[in-house]
Structure 1
Amino acid sequence: MTAVVELDSVTVLRPGKALLQDVSWTVEDSQRWVVLGANGAGKSTLMQIVGAQMYPTTGTATILGERLGETEVFDLRTRIGHSGTAIAERIPPRETVEDCIVSAAHAVTGRWREQYDAADLERARQIMAELRIGALAHRTFGTLSEGERKRTLIARALMTDPELLLLDEPGAGLDLGAREDLLMSLDMLSSAPGAPVLVMVSHHVEEIPAGFTHVLMLRDGKIIAHGPIEETLTAQTLGRTFGMRLELELVDGRYTARRSAFGHRAH
């Protein structure tokens, strides 16, 4: 197996606070990871490092074989797909779904005078079909439901055929039906031949697609546990991650969690 992400003793410091502390983590090319943690745990900082958007204060980060600080990050970023709120906020509300997706080929949001060839349009339509949003092609982004937006953003992230795909809380704000549609799409994506390596950030174990293989759990910028999901994601490690006593259940590859009836805070 080939290492796609290699973090060695990565620490990120900001005035008065350590956002990440001594994080060592390796993602192999056959793996699908979910990163779990409460607000402020360091998940967003970790994704900025992995996405080549931030440098560690100390330690080393090697992404897709390129060591940050020793490589041209603008070229490296073209090999990484992103889906998250920050990108959604930059898309003009009147942009059609098809243009929103195809414009990723030029790394822009808001189609203007770029010229796209037939291959670009065919790829965009193929991705839309795979994510079951082909019928939305001529809808404008501003008229989409939250679930439709999330799948459109994932389609956009896939447009450049990335080697690594980062999904930042793709299930946030979705109702039950939209969440289940999204998870079905992510499950199919994770098992498709030639799919990119997936790293997904979430607060909720209920949002973990059945096809994901590994979990990393953060609290206060430190790793609580990481490894194969069936061995690592337990009621005990989840409780330590969120600071409370929890019950965890696994049914047909899907997790649910709830607070223990008379639990105390976990340490």
Structure 2
Amino acid sequence: MTEKPTEPTPSGQDVVVALHDVGVRRHTGDRAILSDVDWTVRAGEHWALLGANGAGKTTLLRLLGALMHPTSGSVEILGCRLGRVDVRDLRARIGHVTSAQRVPQDAVAHTVVLTGHSGTVQPLWRTYDDEVRQRAHALLAELEIKELADRPYGVCSGGQRARILIARALMAAPSLLLLDEPFNALDLPSREDLVEALQRLAGSRPELATVTVTHHLEELSPAVGHALLLREGRVLAGGPVDEVLTGPRLTECFGRPVTVVRHEGRWAAYSGRLSAG
């Protein structure tokens, strides 16, 4: 049986995201991409967003980032309803991290973080006073990459780039941080460094809400306490991870048998039979 998260209560002061009966249809062909989506994210909550390719994860994240409007239903982000707010102002209050972010490869890490203050690809040097520059250094230190301050972004490793982009997104002091497959193409040590960084971030910023799109449960930090499963554009299940990230639910979500294991706050999942020897 399909279950939805509790219906949103936009009037609540701690509500960061409230979606009610949201639908998105493709203009060409009038195909439904999302249907009947209800979802509430509150301050300090950390959500994982999972589903097979084509399930609607990217579209849902674009709604949360105020990058598009729904075809039907209502989307409220940080108390602002899409369609009734200047999305340029709203986007400035949302942190968005994606490996597809355009970044000058020759810009050093400190400069990349500074651009988060102006929301630009290229630095706007006249807008960065001493306080802003110091804040960029502090964020690099918070992500434990202060030694990269003068290193060109293009020669940094994938894991280092991911943490630089998170520091950049935090320059605007967002209440909502969207992480679009931040672990893409990372090796095991880099993945673990990023998991630890996100865990520390959850502890140091208790009011920050995050939504992480991922394909792998192993990439979730112990701070992730909620999960939303999408299947064919609809919410299959949403709520506390202990109730959502189960073998039966993931089996239904991905359409093949999935076994889920949890150990000391970390998750793992595999499909198919394993044999020794």
Q: TM-score range by the shorter chain?
A: over 0.9
**1:257 partner SS:** strand
Q: Report the Cα distance in structure 2 between the residues aligned to 1:185 and 1:83, rounded to whole angstroms.
A: 14
Question: Does residue 45 in structure 1 map to residue 59 in structure 2?
Answer: yes
Structure 1 equivalent of residue 40 of structure 2: 26
1:13 aligned to which of 21, 25, 34: 25
1:175 aligned to which of 184, 187, 193: 187
Closer, same or farther: CA 123–74 of 1 in aligned 2, 3 Å: same
1:230 aligned to which of 217, 236, 242: 242
**Counterpart residue identity of residue 29, structure 1:** A
Kept in 2: contact 1:146–1:173 (CA 8 A): yes
Displacement of 1:43: 0.6
Structure 1 equivalent of residue 168 of structure 2: 156
Displacement of 1:115: 3.7
Q: Report the Cα distance in structure 2 between the residues aligned to 1:245 and 1:229, rounded to whole angstroms.
A: 19
Q: What are the superposed Cα offsets for residues 121-176 of structure 1, whole Å, 9 maximum, x if unpaired?
A: 11111111111110110111111111111111111001111011000011111000
Kept in 1: contact 2:118–2:124 (CA 8 A): no
Kept in 1: contact 2:43–2:207 (CA 8 A): no
**1:114 partner SS:** helix
1:101 aligned to which of 99, 113, 116: 113
**2:161 partner SS:** helix
Question: Does residue 64 in structure 1 map to residue 78 in structure 2?
Answer: yes
Structure 1 equivalent of residue 15 of structure 2: 3
Query: What is the alpha-carbon root mean square deviation over aligned residues?
Result: 1.3
Closer, same or farther: CA 198–123 of 1 in aligned 2, 3 Å: same
Structure 2 equivalent of residue 265 of structure 1: none
Structure 2 equivalent of residue 110 of structure 1: 122
**1:86 partner SS:** coil
Question: Does residue 92 in structure 1 map to residue 104 in structure 2?
Answer: yes
Aligned-residue identity in percent? 43
Structure 1 equivalent of residue 267 of structure 2: 255
1:124 aligned to which of 123, 131, 136: 136
Kept in 1: contact 2:116–2:169 (CA 8 A): yes
1:77 aligned to which of 79, 82, 91: 91
Q: Report the Cα distance in structure 1 between the residues aligned to 2:202 and 2:251, rounded to whole angstroms.
A: 27
Kept in 1: contact 2:99–2:184 (CA 8 A): no
Kept in 1: contact 2:20–2:38 (CA 8 A): yes
Q: Report the Cα distance in structure 2 between the residues aligned to 1:125 and 1:223, rounded to whole angstroms.
A: 40
